[in-house]
Amino acid sequence: MGVEIERKYLVRSDAWREKVQRASRMRQGYLTEAGPASVRVRVAGDKGYLNIKSMTVGVERHEYEYEIDLGEANEILDNLCIGPRIEKTRYYVEDGGHLFEVDVFEGENAGLVVAELELTEVDQPVNIPDWLGDEVSDDPRYYNVSLVRHPYSRW
């Protein structure tokens, strides 16, 4: 069974930028956002993905992800997804012995910058860098599926 354990934090400064290892532009949309799971299509660089994630709030959720044809991923995004698309650049940042994924959102979610950290255990110790702010792992407003219907610019 696929399980994701992930903590999410607001980013409070640009100090992370000096530690960027690589970056990837992403565009994603949702086929469904109701019920027990969200179904997402994402284009990241030159790859397409289909993702199914439980709608559970918190740091541990069921998640399944499959690579799909890039052309088909773009067609699905353009023709089948609900609401506006999420557009962002994801930066991979090594700090404190961890690999953080810093998402800088664009469009209706411009101004929102969050860092995600995938863990192997729910209670795994985390070295929190100074550039991180409040943890928002338990706040569903910051889930990408929520940002489709309630963009950051409208809060």
Candidates 7, 44, 25, 22; CA nearest to 94 is 22
DSSP 135: E
Of the candidates 30, 91, 142, 143, the residue annotated as catalytic is 30
Q: Reply yes or no on whether 92 is catalytic.
A: no
Question: Which residue type does 11 have?
Answer: V
Number of Cα atoms under 13 Å in the Cβ half of residue 145: 21
Helix, coil or strand: residue 56? coil
Q: How far is CA 20 from CA 74, 130, 136, in A?
A: 27, 15, 22
Task: Find out whether 124 and 118 touch, Cβ atoms under 8 Å.
Answer: no
Residue 87: phi, psi to the nearest 5? Answer: -125, 135
Give catalytic residues, as residue numbers: 30
